[in-house]
Structure 1
Amino acid sequence: MPPFFVYSFSILWLCSTFVLSDPRFSRRADQIPQFIRDFAPLVFLDKNEKYFPSDIAKHIENTTPFINKTAINPPPSVTVENLDSLNQYNVNETKVYLTLKEPVENNPTFLLGTQPDENGKTVDATSCVVIVTDRGDGTVDAFYMYFYSFDKGNIVLSQELGDHIGDWEHTMVRFKNGSPEALWLSQHAYGQAFSYGAMKKQGDRAIIYSAIGTHANYATAGDHDHTIPGVTLSAGLLVDHTSDGKLWDP
């Protein structure tokens, strides 16, 4: 698990719906402009998906902080509200990170996430946060961040590659004076940009397709080569698959 894992959580919760005790985290979801809510993308998960969007707080509760492959002793109680307290352990070259309390080989059930209900909601699970950046001159970027506890990689030459714990994906929508103009889809180490008008929609909301296992985001259903970032091959070694499965309304 990369050392920036802890840092990522600290930043991304700034715009969550939770109230944090630290006054630096006073920005709330009720301050997000209405157009960012109105144009929030919808996500189709693959028909055969097994690892669904996950509750961020529950994921943290099932982890413990380590330094140099050794658990901190005694282990501090880590929650969404106090996660930034772990930064005290980042001294010189020392980096603290979170790892699972239970071995991943045991397939702990929380890694499966929460399946969206008939309304597209992950009930009792906060699995998405929003970061809003005002660029000035009427330009606003909204980053819709999607969290999955487990990422299952692709099969390459009969080997499964890329599995990892803790998976952030995102869609960025650029607004101009409250109207969506463009959209960016995260895909592994890269991604794709589209004009908003080019996207398939449900009403005014863009439709996103999440690849089975890897959760990379695409504009269409089907197979998507990602062997070489930025290059689409007719028959690559690494191929994502998307389909019209469960609809998730983050």
Structure 2
Amino acid sequence: MSTTTHREQFWPCDIAEHLVHTSPYANYTLIRSMENDRTLENLDELNQYGRFAYLKSEDNVEERPDWLGGSSNIPRSPEDVYDEFHDRLLKNPPLKPGRVPGRKRWNEFSRNGPEDHSKPSNRLQERGGHSSAPAVLIVVPKEDGVVDAFWFYFYSYNLGNKVFNIRFGNHVGDWEHSMVRFRNGTPEAVYISEHGAGEAYAYHAVEKYGKRPVIYSATGTHAIYATPGLHPYVLPWGLLHDQTDKGPLWDPTLNHHAYVYNYTSRHLKSSAQTPHAPVSWFNFRGHWGDKMYPMSDKRQYRFWGQYHYVSGPIGPRFKNLGRKKVCQRMQAQCVIRHWLGEGGDDGEKKLPGSETGDQVLE
């Protein structure tokens, strides 16, 4: 379960819709052969351009087009579900109770009285968190009874943080992920991504919604944390920080594409849960957003060696899905924490935007 913030402006997005509003570029040159022929089933045809392929926004991102913010994909609250139930109820009211020959009365069935169909069930009232933007679940079986379940969350825009009221690290396209490691069917650990690094926790340590882990997505950057609040990183005195809170709850199990990945053969297939989920997009080796704007672009500026706009990220395939340790980074020490709070992490966190140059690990 992912908790977004009340202040969020850039919500979960559908990668299929993202393709509608972007065009393929080789660095800064339009790839005309696929300008109007991009789908999740053929996106890997851009691999002839390798890392030089970019999905560039067709709109000026500073004008904040609607698709960039994903406002139609805001996770629904239980109140939204309740209101929808009553809208349906007004259109199709329940039949008035009456005596039907040969049928038992309600008090012959139950001592608790008749079921009130004018109100949604408790289960329905509690069932919120649906987003119209599907998440991506990739299950990776490994040796010794280990199975890693990766959840990937996509956003069409990353709003970087501010330092001294100067914003750095904006980029089109944003992939974040969490992972639950199972051993012999029992959940053992949780990993969450943060700015090119991340943190690992024992499963028992993290907050739960029922039996499911709860994670917190930061405003704008969508970096993931295990607790709500302010999260300073990189710079001293809290000059640079993410913020999380108990905002709308996103339940990705209600709408997702599910896959199984063989990390030795590097083969991905759709799972029985979603057998028709597209696959080819996973193999796309390019960037899911614009290339870093040149200094000649009036939207771009540089300060302390950091840029206002940076390049979009590469996709889930390159997040070390075959990792042996719970942590993503191979060279870093992997500390699995048994408590919530300040502590060790998976390598050094980076300044905003630097995470798009993350290690390329297949």
Task: Give 2:4's aligned amino acid.
Answer: L
Q: Aligned runs of 1:1-250 on 2, under 5 Å?
A: 42-74=1-33, 75-90=35-50, 95-113=52-70, 114-118=73-77, 119-123=128-132, 125-126=133-134, 128-227=135-234, 235-250=237-252
C-alpha distance in structure 2 between counterparts of 1:108 and 1:77, whole Å: 22
Larger mean Cα displacement after TM superposition, 195-204 or 105-114: 105-114
**CA displacement at 1:195 relative to structure 2:** 0.3
Correspondence for 1:37: none
Q: Deviations over 1:202-244 (max 9, x none)?
A: 110001011111111111110101216xxxx6x2321001000
C-alpha distance in structure 1 between counterparts of 2:52 and 2:149, whole Å: 30
Q: Secondary structure at the match of 1:227?
A: coil
Q: Secondary structure at the match of 1:149?
A: strand
C-alpha distance in structure 2 between counterparts of 1:196 and 1:219, whole Å: 11
Task: Give 1:57's aligned amino acid.
Answer: A
Q: Deviations over 1:147-167 (max 9, x none)?
A: 111111111012011111110
C-alpha distance in structure 2 between counterparts of 1:105 and 1:236, whole Å: 27
Q: Give the TM-score taking structure 1 as reference length.
A: 0.76
Give the structure with the larger strand fraction. 1
**CA displacement at 1:68 relative to structure 2:** 3.0
* Structure 2: runs of 5+ lacking an equivalent: 78-127, 253-362
C-alpha distance in structure 1 between counterparts of 2:203 and 2:247, whole Å: 23
C-alpha distance in structure 2 between counterparts of 1:96 and 1:76, whole Å: 16
Correspondence for 1:32: none
Task: Give 1:122's aligned amino acid.
Answer: S
CA RMSD of aligned residues (A): 1.4
Q: Secondary structure at the match of 2:238?
A: coil
Assess, with a 3 A threshold, how the Cα gap between structure 1 residues 99 and 178 changes in structure 2: closer, same or farther. Answer: same
Identity over aligned residues, as a percent?
Answer: 47
Q: Secondary structure at the match of 1:110?
A: helix
Assess, with a 3 A threshold, how the Cα gap between structure 1 residues 220 and 89 changes in structure 2: closer, same or farther. Answer: closer
**CA displacement at 1:105 relative to structure 2:** 2.1
Task: Give 1:71's aligned amino acid.
Answer: L
Q: Secondary structure at the match of 1:136?
A: coil
**CA displacement at 1:76 relative to structure 2:** 4.3
C-alpha distance in structure 2 between counterparts of 1:207 and 1:153, whole Å: 24
Q: Secondary structure at the match of 1:105?
A: helix
C-alpha distance in structure 2 between counterparts of 1:169 and 1:59, whole Å: 16
Q: Deviations over 1:27-65 (max 9, x none)?
A: xxxxxxxxxxxxxxx011011111111111000111111
- How many residue pairs get aligned? The number is 199
C-alpha distance in structure 2 between counterparts of 1:196 and 1:52, whole Å: 27
C-alpha distance in structure 1 between counterparts of 2:23 and 2:201, whole Å: 39
